[in-house]
Amino acid sequence: MAFDFTRRDFIKLVGAGTAAGLAGCATEPAAPAKPVGTVIVVGAGFGGATAAKYIRMWSGGRIQVFLIERNEKFVSCPLSNLVLGGSRSIDDLTIGYEKLRNYGVQVIRDEVTDIIVDKKRVRMKRVEDLPYDRLVVAPGIDFMFGDIAGLDAKAQETILHAWKAGPQTVALRKQLEAMPDGGTYILSIPKAPYRCPPGPYERACQVAAYFKQAKPRSKVLILDGNEDVISKKGLFMAAWDQLYKGIIEYRPNQEVKQVDAAALTVRTEFDTFRGNVLNVVPPQRAGDIAEKAKLVTANNRWCGVDWQTAESVAVPGIHVIGDATLSAPAMPKSGSMANNQAKIAASAIVAQLLGQPVNAQPQIINTCYSYASATEAMHVASVHRWDAEKKTLVTVPGSGGVSSQRSEMEKQFADAWARNIWADTLA
C-alpha cells in the first residue's frame, strides 16, 4: 500500500531535510550498506515504477528511493482496450504498489506541483519539499485539448478519450453498452506521435467485436488524422476485412478540428460526422510537470534526452523516461519502451552515484501486442542500440518485425507478456 504521508510523518522521516540526511532515514527490509544518495522518481507507471525498483536492486539498497504517485494503484494501459471489448475488467489490469516496499522503495501518494531545479528539491501538494541528488521524471502524457475547438471541460465530461486507463475506460464501456443497436461509434486518432501507435486500431477491433456480438447493426467509424494506418497496417486491415467487414469504416487524413457535444458531431477540415458515442483522442505532449520544469525541448511537446543515460538535454541531473520523451528514430511510445528506458536511467544513476563507469552501449527491446479479437492477437518487435556516430539509439537492422498473421497462440503470448511486464515493473 502506498504511504499516505502527513506533514508530521514527513518531518519525522526527513529529519534535517538535507539530501545527505534523508538518505539514512528510511526503514529498510534488511540492514543496508551505507547510503550514498537520494533519488526521487516522479510518476509510477511502467517507467517510473521500474526505475525505482531497479535503482534499489542494482545499488544493493545503497541509494534511497522515493516514488511519488498521485494515484492509489497502477492501471495498465496495455490490455485496457479489452475492457471496451468486454473480455477483461478494469480490476484485471489494476495492481497495487505494495511489493515495491520489499525493495525499500518509499512510495508516497501525492502530486508533484513543481521542481525547484537550482535547489534540487521537489514540491508536492501535501508534504514538505523533498530534496534529491538525482531525479527521474516519468510523467506520461497530457492532452492538448485546446487544439480541438469545442472540447472544453464541459464537453470532456461526455466526449471521452480513455487514453489513460482507469475511470474513463470504464465510462466509455458504459457509453458503448448504452448505445442503441444501429448506432455509430466514432473514434478519432490524432496525428503521430502519440502514446501507443497501434492502440487506436486495436480499440476499433475490440469495439467492433463487441458490436458483432451484442449490437450487430452498429458501426465503428475511424477518423484518422494520419495519412494511413501507422502500425501493423496489413494485420489490422486483414482483421477488419475478415472479422469485421461492414462494421468498421476507416477514413485517413481526417484530423478532427472541432466537436459539438450537444449535437454529437465532430468536424474535420472538410466534413462533419455525427455519432452516438464520440471517442476523441486529442493530440498529446509530455505531462504537465515536465513543462513546468523546463524539460520540454521539441515542438513544445516532448523532452529530449541523452539515450546513453536518459538524462535531460535541457536540465542536468534529471532523467526523463517513458512517453514524455522525444523518441529516437522508429522508437514508439509504449509500455515496453518505458520499462526499458527506465533500466537505462537506473543503470546510469547507480553508476553515477556509486562512482562507477556508465554503460556506454545501451541496448533495449520493444515488444507490442495488439488484440484483434478476444481470442487472437499479433505483435511488432524491434531492437534499438546506441550508435556513437549518430549519438542516439537506432534500430538494429533485421531485428524484430511483425507477426505473419494474427493467431490464438499470439494471444497466449500477449497474455504472458502482460503478466511478465507487470511483474517486472511492480513485483
Burial class (CB in 10 A: 0-12, 13-18, 19+), 422: buried
User: Whose CA is closest to 350, among 306, 310, 315, 385?
Assistant: 310
Answer CATH for 145-282 from 3.30.450.20, 1.10.260.40, 3.50.50.60, 3.40.50.2000: 3.50.50.60
User: Whose CA is closest to 426, among 48, 23, 134, 91?
Assistant: 48
User: Whose CA is closest to 145, among 133, 154, 134, 136?
Assistant: 154
User: Whose CA is closest to 130, among 245, 41, 262, 28?
Assistant: 41
CA–CA separation, 244 and 252 (whole Å): 18
Whether the CA torsion 164, 168, 172, 177 is positive or negative: it is: positive
Strand 284-286 versus strand 219-224 pairing type: unpaired
Burial class (CB in 10 A: 0-12, 13-18, 19+), 6: exposed
Q: So what's the pLDDT on residue 318?
A: 98
CA–CA separation, 195 and 284 (whole Å): 8
CA angle at residue 88 from 84 to 91, to 5 degrees? 105
3-state secondary structure 158-170: CCECCCCCCHHHH
CA–CA separation, 117 and 107 (whole Å): 22
Q: Which residue in the block uniquely carries the three cell numbers 494515484? A: 71
Beta-bridge partners for 107? 67
Task: Locate 344 and state its grid cell.
Answer: 537505462
Task: Map out the domains of the chain as residue ranges.
Answer: 7-142+285-359, 145-282
Q: Which CATH architecture has domain 7-142+285-359?
A: 3-Layer(bba) Sandwich (3.50)
Tens-level pLDDT at each residue, the chain (427 residues): 343 444 344 333 333 232 322 223 333 444 556 789 999 999 999 999 999 999 999 999 999 999 999 999 999 999 999 999 999 999 999 999 999 999 999 999 999 999 999 999 999 999 999 999 999 999 999 999 999 999 999 999 999 999 999 999 999 999 999 999 999 999 999 999 999 999 999 999 999 999 999 999 999 999 999 999 999 999 999 999 999 999 999 999 999 999 999 999 999 999 999 999 999 999 999 999 999 999 999 999 999 999 999 999 999 999 999 999 999 888 999 999 999 999 999 999 999 999 999 999 999 999 999 999 999 999 999 999 999 999 999 999 999 899 999 999 999 999 999 999 999 999 9
Q: So what's the pLDDT on residue 32?
A: 52
Distances (CA, A) of 388 to 113, 359, 395: 36, 12, 13
Beta-bridge partners for 149? 258
Task: Locate 108 and state its grid cell.
Answer: 508516497
CA–CA separation, 74 and 46 (whole Å): 9
Helices (H), 191-314: 199-214, 233-243, 288-292
User: Whose CA is closest to 318, among 144, 73, 132, 145?
Assistant: 132
Reported as type and span, the H/E element at residue 423 is helix 408-426
Same fold for the domain at 7-142+285-359 and the one at 145-282?
A: yes
CA–CA separation, 217 and 132 (whole Å): 57
Strand 184-189 versus strand 219-224 pairing type: parallel
Q: So what's the pLDDT on residue 171?
A: 98
CA–CA separation, 228 and 250 (whole Å): 9
Measured from the Cβ of residue 51, the count of other Cβ atoms closer than 10 Å reads 35
Task: Locate 143 and state its grid cell.
Answer: 492532452
